[in-house]
Chain A
Amino acid sequence: MLFQQFLDDDLGCASYLVGDEASGTATVVDPPFAIEPLLETAERHDVRIVRSLLTHNHADHLSGHGRLALEHGLPISIHPAAEVAYPHDPLEDGQEVKLGDVVLRAVHTPGHRPEHVCLVVLDRSRGDEPWLVLSGDSLFVGDAARPDLAVGAAEGAGDLYRSLQRLLELADGVELFPGHVAGSLCGKGMSSKPSSTIGYERRFNRALLLENELEFVTDAAGIGAPKPPNMSRIVELNRGPFVAAAATVAELPAPGEATVLDVRPVRDYLAGHRPGALSVPISGSSFATKAAFVLDPESPIVVQAANAAEAECAIRGLRSIGFLELEGYVLGGGSERIESVGLDELDALLGDGAELIDVRERDERDNGYISGSRNIPYRLLSVCAADVPTDRPVVTICESGARAGIAASILAAQGVDARPVLDGGVSDWAACGGRTVEFRRCGN
């Protein structure tokens, strides 16, 4: 059997190439929009990809099934409850896709989304028992998927609980390959390890250790993590007509009226950037997700990078989350400068009346925040900027400095005198003897 996992480290998404080398056929499962690595691997192993299998309509990234259909004529299988607008073969519970001795059997596992299926993989040249399961967005390594993306959390969780019981009917030795690893917003506590076994998860997965359905539903309904950005738009792109490969973009002499996304390291941005540019460094974690949180999908976008390779990398990342109409890229810096703030300067600045904005998420802040600070998560700053004072300096702070940099750029683009704490964050402040306040919410 040919089996290869493809991980998008930035989005935390996993795709698979499963095939039978003897028969020379393979299928892709949950292909990413950047389909080239899968095609190259298939070619290297001398197998022909014959079909795209989708576990569900993805909400956090653009799927590559449309490109495979348009460019290579591949048929698509997905559960009928997906209500997709493109031609497809229904992939219902118990249905099998055969590739020589390799069989992929669908198991309907609604919860994350109503159409969700897992794929149990058998290699009949070795035995009739399931060898591994591609669990998509149902069971992850260390946790279960979030159930609140398609319907209410409690209702989705009820379905997900039943679905997980189906997966637990598999033997302990069956290997588990999920659709996401840490870094994705489709779950909250998943591991960065890309695979596990049913037996290990049965013993140690926190979601599976909950006593009963009621406890599971209560836990799942309390998820506080933000939903993936542009979720509805991405689902509609994935369930709608095929999305073709986007046109190549070129270097522009100037960005014009477009929103500039500066993807250079944050210190380069601070040293000199174009007026109004937003900073989301490509070198940071979850670039695409962070960029999607701060960009308006309806506005024209130009990438600002240090070189063409960096620009292309950023453009690929933006397209993976559905930003297809990019104007182009510009290179180099700009004339605007921002000074960063050291933790040792913070006391003096606050004493002088500076406004401190904690740009972390609510649950992070509850574990300890600096007294007097305001909480506006960086992803909401563009809509909340009107509430931020313009008559005094503003300091942004997070846990490590990454989000504080993004936040300062959003505020600076709106005319606020904002400066980020880049080296460290609230935990470092507390470690240096700074006083923090904890907050416990009812029900937690």
Chain B
Amino acid sequence: MLIACHECDLLQREVPLPRGGTARCGRCGAVLYRSHPESLERTLALTVGAILLFVLANAFPIIGLSLQGQVIQTTLWNTVRTLWNEDMRSVSALVFATTIAMPALQLAAFTYLLLPLRLGRVPAHFAPVFRMLQAVRPWGMVEVFMLGVLVSLVKLAHLAGIVPGVALWSFAVLMLVMAAITSEFDPRSLWAKASALR
């Protein structure tokens, strides 16, 4: 089988890989493909975990300030709404898109594609959903948001006591699970499975 490097377009022959192996382009060094044992099963399992964490991360306060016996807390949605009301609509939309909408779309698309495949059928609109997934993935920035929360935590620490919320921990774990999904998901396995089922 011939494949083209997605970064330099060099044609090269596909070789079978040992477990855990990585095939790199002979010319530019880009990763062509990796050995992904049980890629789809693992991605699906991680996606289910990520959905639970995502719900927790959105439902509970991220951090709170305690000042004179009073605790003020904020959720992610609250953050988006405050920015919107402060007339920072573009920034609000950006935060909403990168921390809520895109990760949610990504998790929904993974579930939509992988769950039916696991049950032995190819879902309708398989190809467009796959393309949407690929387009959405660079815009989910859970890990950057997490670092942003930590920086603001330090910034506010001199003003008041900091009360870490449930969502802070959920976000921290969600960040790791999302990173695991990125490394486990293998589009080649997805297409191989889909065409085997058709």
Bind each other: no
